[in-house]
Structure 1
Amino acid sequence: MAGTDDGLVYGTAQGRWVLLATVLGSGLAFIDGTVVTIALPVIGREMHAGTAALQWTVNGYGLTLAAFLLLGGSLGDRLGRRRMFRVGVVWFALASLLCGFAPDIRALIAARALQGVGGALLTPGSLAIIQASFRPEERGRAIGAWSGLGGIAGAVAPFFGGWLVQVASWRWVFWVNLPLAVVVVAALRHVPESADPDAAPHLDIAGTILGAAGLAGLTAAFTGWPTRGASDPAVLVPLVVGVAATAGFLAVEARTRYPMLPLRLFRWRSFSAVNAATFLIYAALSGIFFFLVVTLQVVCGYSPLAAGIAPLPVTLLLLALSSRAGGLGTRIGPRLPMTVGPLVCAGSVALLARLGPQAPYMSAVLPGVVGFGLGLALTVAPLTSAALSAAPDHLAGTASGVNNAVARIAGLLAVAVLPLLAGVGADLTDATALAPAHRTAMLICASLLAGGGLLALVSLPGSMAAVRPPAATTAP
């Protein structure tokens, strides 16, 4: 690792610069998705967009983000994590500018897809930079602080985004990314560069293309299914293409000399278990936030600002507790927090299934949101630490990319599939259809969270040291 000997100490000046750059940079990719969801009802009315088009407004971004995350991690390992992080931030800012100027829903979806490419280049570098920059004994605190400080942006963004949508325009949700990107680029001057000296000399182009085709096919099929039906060629053809391309992707990754996704990572039980739990938990999270802020506006009659503020306790609890949860996970291992946290989330999300017209915030929304925030705060930092610790240090970028890709793919498929399973219909702004669909979606998400917690209970070890792969198996 360039720029340090044994690594940075948490709380030093340079350590704070690393946290500032990585928190704000990754916040661009994470928060934008949350705020855009708040704006969906307004975008739908202004651009006369139905449910499928609004799903694509979310998934156009999620698709390219998920499809190119592994490539982003590989490029960071090979060319330098700080360098690719900077490229991703600038790309994301320019794509945000295009989103704000989009004249119609198709142009907005295309610009969102470009945004996702920038997000894919910067997202894996965030945690990989932290993992490579800090000393091993400091990483749990640094990752916890990363999660908690991200909560500051998460707390401000829904309020600020909802306010922008309500008093100005949804377009400012995208334009506000530009000054934040300038701050990130300036902070990166103080971040040490790191790379993997043993990184693959060639990019896995075939794997990237097949992976993207697989995700695109599945997403298109599930998005079109509710309105067209399973037998429609516009659904059936993408579904077949998606399944075939996914199978081809796995075959290529198993045989190529320099895979984008080294399947041998999944031979380590802890790595497989934590990523399986990640899939279930993050599918639920994406489904919850997609439905909740839309239901609060369409069914409950909340303004965009009120709907944006409603989940605020979640981010405040993440801010207050994530660093402590990261330290707790380091001391006692990931199994207990990753079991209890999702189960608490599941019970709380079940409470949110009861929302209806004119639902009062204090009694109908707040209890579920607070419980959900407590469970999530207990889960996120130990999960992230376990995902990175379950792979050798020289594969930090790849491990981060895999875990992020799993989370993003889970969210992508949740937004595509949940409206189908819940029975939303063709119009996401129809309160009569959305109310029962919201109830079904919340119960499905609660089940996914409970499944993630039980999987952690039976699959993860009781100590963080036991999460790491045996030394004899970590050679490239």
Structure 2
Amino acid sequence: MTLTTGTTAGPGTGQTRSPARWAILAVICLAQFAAVLDNTVLNVAIPSLTRDLDATTSDVQWIVNAYSLVQSGLLLAAGSAADRYGRKRLLLAGLTVFGAGSLAAGLADTTGQLTAARAGMGIGGALLLTTTLAVVVQVFDAAERPRAIGVWGAVNALGFAAGPPIGGLVLAHFHWGALFLANLPVVVFALLAVRLLVPESRAPGGGPPDLLGVLLSTVGMTAVVLAITQGPESGWSSPRVLLPAAGGLLVLAVFARWEHHVRHPMLDPHFFRDRRFVGAVVGVVLITFGSAGVLFLLTQQLQFVHGYSPLAAGLHLAPFALTVVVLNATGLTARVVGRLGHPLAIASGMSLLAGGFVAVALSAGYGPLLLGLLLMGTGCAFANPAIVEAVMSAIPPDRAGAGAGVDGTMAEIGNSLGVAALGAVLNARFAALLPAAAAGAGSLPAALAAARTEADRAAVLEAFTAGISTSQLLGAAAVLVGGCLAAVLLRSAGRVVHPVPPPEDVGPRPDDNASRGLAEKIHE
């Protein structure tokens, strides 16, 4: 199946429209949802894992982090591979690997087996996150692409927020292995639908694969994300943090230098000469920094301060994700972003998001908290699709996989930094405000256990609430600054022609006439 079969012309775009494009979007969003969900669904299963597998704290950390570590390390390489070898082919490979990892995780009976299975799922997740966005860019023309990207982004938000409540529902009735085995019917259906519906596409030419670039980017990104995730637990001055951080940054510096000199780079450094691209990337990092950090704090606030169960806490956060989904699914986001333009949409959306963070930080009950969640959802609904569209429109469409890899990598860095940095602020503020009776306690439960009187317990809760509020306000400031900076960079760039030079030895692939036709239509 090719994009030119049975399609109609998109208005004023010069690109054809696949009649199956919305069905394709539904299928890839289903796959995307499963991949994103596995970033958070396991958090509520930690007590069950500790009991059933006799897991230590270190074991649990590796089980939880193995997925995100492998995924973040491979995103750049996965995006480049999708452009080179075919986005449909890599999407099918990602589904297969993700399904196999899910089966292994569901049947695991030791911590080592579960950690290895989660790492395998991370490989599949990296392929899914990049290929799904790349397929959206290829299937939808410029007129419909903002709405399609908005739906894709809404599924991201829904998957991230739905993890705790879905995990809680599953664990209320089934063994924790069901969290992974539930992916299998989704994977089987998606494999069949992708094979039938999704057209193949890839970048023309490209030269030999940049194997050294793949190795350097994977090692460097994995080391940096590992350092960030270990910071709150081990201490930022610990060798367990400093060594991987320094090593990862050094490897990434070597990677950047290599990409400047290799003839066929995995990630073309010319992308970063475009202010639109840089501005959008800044927005990606800071919006995910604030969102991930604040939502991480909110789950603790609802459980530790308000006394909700993990399932109830997840359900109380649902208005945030539902607002994002409704605004994008109805097409309202695409219309607003189209009228405002990327710079103003990003600035407005991230300002609303920051306002929601402030409302949440200052809330004393669920009413003000609900207002904050609605503001956060509205801000995300406007800012996220505009940022992703800005990233993808700043590079040639035939490098959509590479753009998706950069977008996913920056989002992973923002997520990890947000949780680590805002969590560190919470811990520092909490420790500074603890009463003398609980001084030195490393957690809220430990501080409450050390408190001797009701007044001490009230002071402990007040210290924890103050720490959360301070961290949430810092997240609001980061998002607001990020929105303004991204908007300024995007506006100052104006309408700039893509600075990426064409490959030197582009030539047709005799075995891929459909992809060649797609590339020719894109560049018309």
Same fold (TM over 0.5): yes
- For residue 99 of structure 2, what is the aligned residue in structure 1? 93
Q: 1:347 aligns with which of 336, 348, 355?
A: 355
| Matched residue type, 1:247 | A
Q: How does 1:42-441 map to 2 (within 5 A)?
A: 43=49, 55-148=61-154, 158-188=164-194, 189-198=196-205, 200-230=206-236, 232-322=238-328, 323-353=331-361, 360=365, 362-363=366-367, 365-423=369-427, 437-441=467-471
TM-score by length of 1: 0.87
- For residue 2 of structure 1, what is the aligned residue in structure 2? 2
How far, CA to CA, are the matches of 2:244 and 2:18 in structure 1?
51
How far, CA to CA, are the matches of 1:139 and 1:239 in structure 2?
37
- For residue 502 of structure 2, what is the aligned residue in structure 1? 475
Indicate the structure (1 or 2) with the bigger Cα radius of gyration.
2
Is the CA contact 1:65–1:119 (under 8 Å) kept in the aligned structure 2?
Answer: yes
Change (3 A) 1:52 1:421: farther
Change (3 A) 1:179 1:222: same
- For residue 451 of structure 1, what is the aligned residue in structure 2? 481
Q: Deviations over 1:386-421 (max 9, x none)?
A: 111111112122112211211122223333444334
| Matched residue type, 2:115 | I
How far, CA to CA, are the matches of 2:132 and 2:376 in structure 1?
25
How far, CA to CA, are the matches of 1:344 and 1:45 in structure 2?
42
Mind listing any 5+ residue stretches in structure 1 that lack a counterpart?
none
- Between the two proteins, the alignment pairs up a number of residues equal to 468
Change (3 A) 1:14 1:224: closer
Change (3 A) 1:436 1:36: farther
How far, CA to CA, are the matches of 2:424 and 2:162 in structure 1?
32
| Matched residue type, 2:207 | P
- For residue 472 of structure 2, what is the aligned residue in structure 1? 442
Q: Deviations over 1:176-221 (max 9, x none)?
A: 11111112112111111111113x3333222222223223333343
SS of residue matched to 2:491: coil
- Quote the offset at 1:170 in angstroms: 3.4
- Quote the offset at 1:436 in angstroms: 5.3
- Quote the offset at 1:268 in angstroms: 0.8
How far, CA to CA, are the matches of 2:58 and 2:140 in structure 1?
44
Mind listing any 5+ residue stretches in structure 2 that lack a counterpart?
11-15, 429-440, 449-459, 504-524
Is the CA contact 2:33–2:155 (under 8 Å) kept in the aligned structure 1?
Answer: no
- Quote the offset at 1:364 in angstroms: 5.3
- Quote the offset at 1:431 in angstroms: 7.5
Aligned identity (percent) is 33
Q: Give me the CA root mean square deviation.
A: 3.2
How far, CA to CA, are the matches of 1:144 and 1:209 in structure 2?
32
How far, CA to CA, are the matches of 2:88 and 2:476 in structure 1?
37
Mean CA deviation greater in 247-256 or 264-273:
247-256
Mean CA deviation greater in 177-186 or 222-231:
222-231
